[in-house]
Structure formats: structure tokens, C-alpha cells
Amino acid sequence: MKRVLGAVTILFLLASLLPAQNPGSTGSYGFFHTYEGRVLNKGHFNIYTNFNFYSTKGEYLGTPPPDFKAENWWLRAANLAFSVGIIKHLDVTAALRLYQDTHYPNDYNLPDDIFLTIKAGSFNFVGRRFSGALQGTIRIPTGEVHNYSHVEYASGALEFGFLGAMSYFADPYFPDRNFNLHYNVGLWFHNEKGQDITIPDQDPRKASVSSSKLIMALAAEQPLGLFDLRLELFGHIYLAKPDPFIYSAEDLAAITPGIRYKPLDWLSLDLGIDLRLSPGDRQRTSGVPNASDTLDIPISYPPWKVHAGLVFYILPAGKSKSYQLDIANPEARKRLEYYEMIMKESEKAKKVEKRVQKLRKERESVTKEIDKIKEEIEGG
């Protein structure tokens, strides 16, 4: 138990020193920004949809022109992801960013880019309390324009990244019914060197470097029956800094409190809000059009962003989720409590058996010492 507490403490310390942002698609097991160390069972199929937004009234800074009329300034995006378990320890996710505000003359990308993720995971150890995963993601630039502001940088090149995920479950047999903790760390490569970067109302400029960033995330969840309380800490730090005409070239740190509601066995509803912790100024971007020079809107990442999502659990016919029962049903609850009792007693029995084996070895050692002493006495 001391080792478990020590590992959890180290994860918290690492995340508090360097929070980061998940660069890939959503899907499989996970949160808004954080992936779990588990993968879907073979043949299991999930659909995830997410919508997020920020809005503020775009008041004019200074004396407005005669024809100026203040309107709400929006920052919106929508995602749709399909995840399927291929074989044991492996699932894949195909995600489409359905909509993304760009603030270019086209107003929005409909659709935006495609994300493809291969995830190998559910590698359990320490009595199934820990589960690890590794995944690779590519971002295919199918959107009309890129290098838009106020969100994560999109270069318009074929981007890719790698991520490691580690999960801790207080209950190794029913992980979704008790406290769980998840940690991610990875690298993301924008791969834009030589790429023509689009800039609003200006000619494209050729990127001179390929930027990259370190990403990290930490998430905790406490189930409470039909509701799960959730908390994420995430962000990124650029390792190879992009050119100055790149929007969103700033490091980012944010915290996301959230809640998951599970009204049905095949449906979950997620709600959360990103609260930016890092400064809201521009650390590197310069020489590009900046709407915040004339309007009272954020310069870089917004101070908050609301997230809402739906998860549909599409399972093989005649099967149900192995980790969740209808606990509102008295008979199901009774069976579940009975199985939990058996598993806990089994764990206790294993500990007792180890203790007995240790005592047997100690007894054998003591017996040998006694026999040796007897021989010495008889010999004397």
C-alpha cells in the first residue's frame, strides 16, 4: 500500500510542476483532455461527441466608428469520435472535428481535421490496481484553413504525436465504482517546416522550423452512484518554438472541473469547464492581425471554455459492460455486493497465505538453528 501511495504522490507532483494538453482525438476510455490506461474490450464500440465554446461581448476599445455595433464574439468547436476494440489490449479511434471557428473570411471549417489513434493498453500490474497504455495519433489536415487563433495550434501539415497513459484504480475489480486517477505524458510534432502557413488578410508565409511540444495531463474521478465527480489538470510546453507568425504559440496550463451523469447503461453525459491557469498574453506571436487590438476579446487562450459531451456505448448483441451493472436493481446490487465480498475475501486469503509461507520459512530457519545448537552442545 505504501508503494501505491508513493506512486500516486509522484504523479501529483509531476503534474503540478508541468501540466499539459492532450493533442489527439477524444475517444476510447478517457476524459475531455486525459486518456485512461485501459482500452476497449474486443468487439466493443463507442461513439463520443463533444461540443465546446467560449463567448464574450466584443466591445470596441476606445472610440468606436459610427457604424460599429457590439456583438457576441464566439469560439466554438465540435468533435465526433468512433472507437472500437480490435483485439485484446488494442483499440483504435477515428475522430472528426466537425466544426471549428477560424475567424478567417470563411468564418469556420466545416468539417475541420481528422484524427486517427491506435492505442495499446490495459496492461495491468500491482494486483490490477494500475493499468498502462501507449498510443500514437496522426492529424490529417482536411480543414479549409489552419493557423487559427485562441485554440491549439493547427499547422495544416500532417501532424503526429505519441502519448503514454497510466491509471490507478482503488477497486481493481470494479474500477468505475471507486476512486481512480490517470496520468498522461507525451510529445506532439506539428511538422510544419516548409509548409505555407495561412494568415488572415495576408499572403501565406513559409514555416522555417518544425515545432514540437511536451504534453502532460492528470485526471481524477470519484464515482457517486449515477454521477461521477471529475477533475483534470492539463497543458503543454513548447520544446521547439514555432515561427512568430504562428497563432497559439503560447504555453498553456488549465484546470477542468467536471461531472459525468450516467442515466442509462449505454449512455453517459459529460459537462465541464476549462479554467486557464497560465497567463493570457502572447508570449511569442507577433506580426499577424490581432482582433484584440480593437475589440475587448482575449489576446490568446480564453479564460474559460465550457465542454459538453455524450458517450454512447455500442456493444455486441446480448452483451453488457463488464465493469458496470444496474445497481438501482436490488437483485443486481445484491449479486454485486456478494461478488465484491468474495473478491475481497480472496485478496485477504492471498495475504494470509503469503504470511503463512513466510512463517513457515522462518520456522524452518529457526529449526535449523536449534538443530545446530543441539549438535554443538552434544559435541561439547
Return the pLDDT at 26.
Answer: 65
Mean pLDDT, the chain, integer: 85
Higher pLDDT, 31 or 326: 31
Return the pLDDT at 265.
Answer: 84
**Rounded distance between C-alpha atoms, residue 200 and residue 148, angstroms:** 9
- pTM for the predicted model, two decimal places: 0.79
With bands split at pLDDT 50, 70 and 90, how would you rate the model's confidence at 374? confident
What is the tens place of the pLDDT at every residue in 156-168? 999 999 999 999 9
With bands split at pLDDT 50, 70 and 90, how would you rate the model's confidence at 1? very low
**Nearby residues of 174 by Cβ (< 8 Å), 6 or more positions away:** 323, 336, 340
Return the pLDDT at 230.
Answer: 97
Mean pLDDT over residues 19-43, rounded?
77
SS (H, E, C) 173-229: CCHHHCCEEEEEEEEEECCCCCCEEEECCEEEEECCCCCEEEEEEEEEEEEECCEEE
Residue 4 has pLDDT above 50, yes or no: no
Return the pLDDT at 108.
Answer: 94
Q: Which of 83-97, 178-192, 206-220, 313-327 has the lowest mean pLDDT?
A: 313-327
**Rounded distance between C-alpha atoms, residue 154 and residue 140, angstroms:** 10
Residue 211 has pLDDT above 80, yes or no: yes
With bands split at pLDDT 50, 70 and 90, how would you rate the model's confidence at 377? confident
**What is the share, in percent, of the chain residues with pLDDT greater than 90?**
59
Q: Long-range pairs for 158-161 at CB < 8 Å and ≥24 separation?
A: 158/191, 159/23, 159/188, 159/189, 159/190, 159/191, 160/136, 160/188, 160/189, 160/191, 161/23, 161/24, 161/136, 161/137, 161/186, 161/187, 161/188, 161/189, 161/215
Q: Are 26 and 163 in contact (CB under 8 A)?
A: no
- Provide the pairing of β-strand 45-57 with 304-314: antiparallel
Residue 131 has pLDDT above 90, yes or no: yes
Residue 340 backbone dihedrals phi, psi, to 5 degrees: -65, -40
- Residue spans of beta strands (DSSP E) within 58-141: 72-87, 90-101, 108-109, 114-125, 130-140
Mean pLDDT over residues 310-333, rounded?
58
Other Cβ atoms less than 10 A from the Cβ of 217: the count is: 28
- Which grid cell is 181? 486517477
Domain spans, the chain: 2-324, 326-380
Return the pLDDT at 365.
Answer: 81
Mean pLDDT over residues 8-28, rounded?
46
Return the pLDDT at 335.
Answer: 64
Return the pLDDT at 246.
Answer: 94
Closest CA to 246 of 157, 171, 132: 157
Q: Which of 89-98, 112-121, 335-344 has the lowest mean pLDDT?
A: 335-344
Residue 319 has pLDDT above 50, yes or no: no
**Nearby residues of 75 by Cβ (< 8 Å), 6 or more positions away:** 53, 54, 55, 101, 150, 151, 302, 305
Selected from 3.30.70.980, 2.60.40.60, 3.40.50.11810, 2.40.160.40, the CATH number assigned to the domain covering 2-324 reads: 2.40.160.40
Return the pLDDT at 318.
Answer: 35
Residue 50 has pLDDT above 50, yes or no: yes
Residue 288 has pLDDT above 60, yes or no: yes
The angle formed by the CA atoms of residues 283, 285 and 291, to the nearest 5 degrees, is: 110
Q: Are 282 and 25 in contact (CB under 8 A)?
A: no
**What is the share, in percent, of the chain residues with pLDDT greater than 70?**
86
**Rounded distance between C-alpha atoms, residue 75 and residue 72, angstroms:** 10
